[in-house]
Structure 1
Amino acid sequence: MDLIKPSLILSLLLAWCWTTPVFAADTAAGEQKAATCSGCHGPQGKSSNAQWPNLAAQQSIYLINQLKAFKSGSRKNPLMQPLAASLSEEDINNLAAYFSSQQAAKAGGDPTLAKSGQSKASICLGCHGPSAEGNGQFPRLAGQHPDYLLQQLKNFKQGSREGGPMQAIAASLSEEDMKELAAYFGSL
């Protein structure tokens, strides 16, 4: 009976170790590296310019995927591509850990448009999470600048930005639908 207890304890300990996630990313290193990002994306990833997205509280997997896409050139942006090209895998992971750990931003949005957008938001929430907080590889929309979201929807619709189902979804939206959705998500 005494032999069972240590083996049971060892088994439980090993099971716990195998199921406990490993967090290799270093948020402090990410914070240092993020100084380069703050010029556009703002301190702690809270952009004051609607041309640049908020990175605060963004999904880390999404950030990693986007930085890798900029680095490889599969996502085009004349500013981001050279910046991402200089990042190591560790830098990318650290930046994602840092920005995802920041308090979410709230950009606001036209209240009238936001109210109309709320009734249309269900088309987005299946992938982007029930509160638009993001869902793994799908980005956080809540608190994002409405003008930024509107531009991204237009880019998907025009095909200048690719992203699986987003092109088809954006193609089904009118200009007014896009403005209303952008205002709603910005207001969250």
Structure 2
Amino acid sequence: MNSLQNPLTLSFLLAVFLALPVSAADISAGEKKAENCVGCHGEKGNSRSAQWPILAAQQSIYLTNQLKAFKAGDRINLMMQSMTANLSNEDIANLAAYFSSQKPVKTGGDPALAKSGEAKANMCLGCHGSTAAGNGQFPRLAGQHPDYLVQQLKAFKDGSRKSGPMQGIAANLSEDDFKALAAYFGSL
């Protein structure tokens, strides 16, 4: 039996082939596309307004998933649905690669609230990473605008933003918990 007839060799070759990216994302193409994002998300994805999230250093997989969800109408935001309507999968990959490669800024948070939030943060770190820098499909919370995080937690709690695990977690938190957690993550 030659090596290509060996099931282990075939399995290995198949695994290697499937692991190869079809095409690598182009950060410079993403930077050009990101010119449309600056008005809300700021230069290099560092939003100055709590109305819009910081995209800099966000998880590439998370950004890709969110952009696709906006495009498909699975995540509702009229502005983002409009912005993503004409993006190709390649555009989305390039934007995600660009923003994930940028250095984030810290937004800060009330120190007293942050201290209280630190004591509660462990429930978040399992999914969002030990330093809250994100974990693949789970977003970076570190350095995010505290008011933005509070808005998102409220949206999960009232059901206007969908995610089974986050809706379950938010349902068991008070508004004071939201503020404390958001202040802590914003301070990282």
The normalised TM-score by structure 2 is 0.89
Shift of 1:21: 5.3
Deviation per CA, 1:91-150, whole angstroms, max 9, x where unpaired?
A: 000000000000122111000000000000001000000000000000000000000000
1:58 paired with 2:52, answer no
Q: 1:48, 1:21 → 2: CA distance? A: 37
Q: How does 1:7-18 map to 2 (within 5 A)?
A: none
Tell whether 2:81 aligns with 1:81.
Answer: yes
Give percent identity, aligned residues only. 69
What is the DSSP-based 3-state SS (H/G/I as helix, E as strand, rest coil) of the residue aligned with 1:108?
Answer: coil
Q: CA deviation at 1:164?
A: 2.2
Match of 2:145 in 1: 145
1:183 is the counterpart of 2:183 = yes
Alignment correspondent of 1:115: 115
Which secondary structure state, in structure 2, belongs to the residue aligned with residue 79 of structure 1?
A: helix
The match for 1:130 is 130
Find the aligned partners of 1:115 and 1:151 in 2 and give their Cα distance.
20
Q: Secondary structure at the match of 2:161?
A: coil
Alignment gaps of 5+ in structure 2:
1-12
User: Could you tell me how far 1:20 is from its partner in structure 2?
Assistant: 7.5
Where does the alignment leave 5 or more consecutive residues of structure 1 unmatched?
A: 1-13
Runs of 4+, deviation exceeding 6 Å: none
Partner of 2:93: 93
The aligned amino acid for 1:50 is A
- Residue 86 of structure 1 and its aligned partner are, at CA, apart by 1.2
Amino acid corresponding to residue 158 of structure 1 in structure 2 = D
Distance 1:19 1:134 in 2: 25
Tell me the SS of whatever aligns to 1:185: helix
Partners of 1:19 and 1:57 lie apart in 2 by: 27
Letter in 2 for 1:166: M
Residue type at the aligned position of 2:151: Q
Q: Report SS of the residue matched to 1:87.
A: coil
- What secondary structure sits across from 2:47 in the alignment? coil
Name the TM-score, length of structure 1 as normaliser.
0.89
Which residue in 1 is equivalent to 2:38?
38
Distance in 2 of aligned mates of 1:37 and 1:21: 30
CA distance in structure 1 between the partners assigned to 2:18 and 2:125 by the alignment = 29
After TM superposition, give the deviation of residue 18 of structure 1 in Å. 5.2
Query: Partners in 1 of 2:166 and 2:18 — Cα distance?
Result: 33
The DSSP-based 3-state class of the residue aligned with 1:137 is coil
Amino acid at match of 1:163: S
Q: Which amino acid aligns with 2:183?
A: A
How far apart in 2 are the matches of 1:19 and 1:70? 27
